[in-house]
Amino acid sequence: MSLAETFAPVRVRAPGKINVFLEVGYLQDDGYHELATAFQAVSLFEDVVASPAEGFSMAVTGSVALDGVPVDDRNLALRAARLLAAETGYEGGVHLDVHKQVPVAGGMGGGSADAAAALVACDALWETGLSSTDLQRLAARLGADVPFALMGGTAIGAGRGDRLSPALARGRFDWVLVVSDEGVSTPAVYGELDRHRERHRVDIGPIRDVPEVDADVLHALRAGDARMLASSLRNDLQAATLHLRPDLAPVLEQGEEWGALAGIVSGSGPTLAFLCGSPQEALDLQTRLSGAGHEALHVHGPVPGARVVP
Ligand code: ATP
């Protein structure tokens, strides 16, 4: 019996994310910043199909521009598969077909979602039977946003964003995303933030030793209250991203003028996320932004983390 006859391919879907709160602490000696963040998984998904193979290979397709996405061992999905094999002693291989909807280098954790999906898909394909705790541990070794893509829903992240605790959340939040053709590099945004803080030391006041998610954000998520959440959205990377991409600032203003409760840069950007008061308000905003020539998508959150789909 061939490999293909032994194991049927496994399809896993994992979500992109929006940071509804992101406080960035001091630059640490190891080059990373201490973060406090609140993640919401949204209905923009990455699909990974894992098929039996002798070695490790992959292909990438998608509804987004795929420039800069490697299809070798630099790809987080392939690294996830190799890590799982190494940790479990599995001696076979896998072919991964990744279908991307999350904008590349868009600040929505697309690569991390691919890695989370690959872990779950290979665990199912190879019948390695890891517990969710084991999978979370491997996820954290792959990247700071990978544990959240595995968990999904709504969660608070500490450390580099990878020390997760689930947050209580009710209801549904409607968002309109404005996607850029070109991504920005996350390290470049952090570099810009550090330079900005150096230049404006006095004006921006003290940076907290231990960043913490505001109580108002937790309250708004628990209550499922979009208006309350809109008034407490925060992203410390936003100023740095807008400095690198000044073209985005007028779009943020436009979205708010056209009916969003609030707009924010998603993570390190350049994707913009507009929180809306209802599905209908989101549709109206999407239509207006699309009419003005932007690539605008209507999504909602929270949605589940990486899971096998039929
Ligand atoms: P984050 O906000 O988590 O830093 P992002 O969402 O802004 O990430 P990604 O699309 O996850 O950005 O990827 C950033 C870079 O990582 C890409 O430009 C690419 O070079 C590399 N990369 C590695 N694996 C992947 C993958 N599976 N999908 C997309 N990019 C990947």
Percent of the chain whose predicted confidence (pLDDT) is above 90: 86
Angle between helices 248-257 and 279-291 (to 10 degrees): 130
Q: Is 145 one of the annotated active-site residues of the chain?
A: yes
Reply yes or no on whether the pLDDT at 157 is more than 80. yes
290 labelled as ligand-binding?
A: no
Using DSSP, state whether 181 is helix, strand or coil: coil
Q: What is the pTM (predicted TM-score) of this model?
A: 0.94
Reply yes or no on whether the pLDDT at 252 is more than 90. yes
Torsional sign, CA 286, 161, 27, 83: negative
User: Which residue, among 6, 15, 25, has the nearest Cα to 212 in the 3D structure?
Assistant: 25
Reply yes or no on whether the pLDDT at 1 is more than 70. no
User: Within 10 A of 146 (CB to CB), how many other CB atoms are there?
Assistant: 29
What pLDDT, on the 0 to 100 scale, is given for residue 263?
Answer: 98
What pLDDT, on the 0 to 100 scale, is given for residue 29?
Answer: 85
What pLDDT, on the 0 to 100 scale, is given for residue 287?
Answer: 98
111 labelled as ligand-binding?
A: yes
Ligand 1 centroid, distance to 22 Cα (angstroms): 19
Ligand 1 atom with least separation from CA of 111: 11
Q: How far apart are alpha carbons 50 and 125 in whole angstroms?
A: 7
Ligand 1 atom with least separation from CA of 268: 2
- Is residue 175 within 8 Å of residue 300, measured between CB atoms? yes
For the stretch 3-14, pLDDT in tens is 555 679 999 999
- Is residue 143 within 8 Å of residue 110, measured between CB atoms? no
Reply yes or no on whether the pLDDT at 200 is more than 80. no
Cα 184–chain centre separation: 14
Q: Using CA positions, which residue lies closest to atom 13 of ligand 1?
A: 105
Q: Which residue out of 123, 145, 162, 174 is catalytically annotated? A: 145
What pLDDT, on the 0 to 100 scale, is given for residue 27?
Answer: 84
What pLDDT, on the 0 to 100 scale, is given for residue 199?
Answer: 83
For the stretch 267-293, pLDDT in tens is 999 999 999 999 999 999 999 999 999
38 labelled as ligand-binding?
A: no
For the stretch 164-181, pLDDT in tens is 999 999 999 999 999 998
Reply yes or no on whether the pLDDT at 145 is more than 70. yes
The residue to mutate among 69, 148, 182, 185, having the most atoms of ligand 1 within 8 angstroms of its beta carbon, is 69
Q: Using CA positions, which residue lies closest to atom 27 of ligand 1?
A: 111
Ligand 1 centroid, distance to 239 Cα (angstroms): 21
What pLDDT, on the 0 to 100 scale, is given for residue 160?
Answer: 87
Ligand 1 centroid, distance to 220 Cα (angstroms): 30
Q: Is 100 one of the annotated active-site residues of the chain?
A: no
- Is residue 148 within 8 Å of residue 108, measured between CB atoms? no
Ligand 1 centroid, distance to 110 Cα (angstroms): 6
Domains of the chain and any CATH numbers? 3-166 (3.30.230.10), 173-301 (3.30.70.890)
Torsional sign, CA 133, 87, 28, 205: negative
ipTM of the prediction: 0.94
Ligand 1 atom with least separation from CA of 79: 24
Q: Would you state the structure tokens that stand for residue 174, as one six-digit string?
A: 């409607």
Reply yes or no on whether the pLDDT at 307 is more than 70. yes
Q: Which residue out of 17, 97, 123, 162 is catalytically annotated? A: 17
User: Within 10 A of 72 (CB to CB), how many other CB atoms are there?
Assistant: 10
What pLDDT, on the 0 to 100 scale, is given for residue 112?
Answer: 98
Of 202 and 125, the one with more pLDDT: 125
Reply yes or no on whether the pLDDT at 18 is more than 60. yes
Percent of the chain whose predicted confidence (pLDDT) is above 70: 96
Per DSSP, the residues of 103-126 read PTTSSS-HHHHHHHHHHHHHHHHT
Residues with CB under 6 A from ligand 1: 68-70, 74-77, 104-112, 114, 145, 183, 186, 267-268
Ligand 1 centroid, distance to 184 Cα (angstroms): 10
113 labelled as ligand-binding?
A: yes
What pLDDT, on the 0 to 100 scale, is given for residue 161?
Answer: 84
Reply yes or no on whether the pLDDT at 159 is more than 70. yes
110 labelled as ligand-binding?
A: yes
| Inter-CA distances, 149 with 24, 154, 200, Å | 20, 10, 34
For the stretch 28-86, pLDDT in tens is 888 888 999 999 999 999 999 999 999 999 999 999 989 989 999 999 999 999 999 99
Q: Would you state the structure tokens that stand for residue 123, as one six-digit string?
A: 């665990």
Reply yes or no on whether the pLDDT at 114 is more than 70. yes
Reply yes or no on whether the pLDDT at 253 is more than 70. yes
What pLDDT, on the 0 to 100 scale, is given for residue 272?
Answer: 98
What pLDDT, on the 0 to 100 scale, is given for residue 4?
Answer: 52
Q: What would the mean pLDDT of 201-208 be, rounded to a whole number? A: 68
What pLDDT, on the 0 to 100 scale, is given for residue 207?
Answer: 79
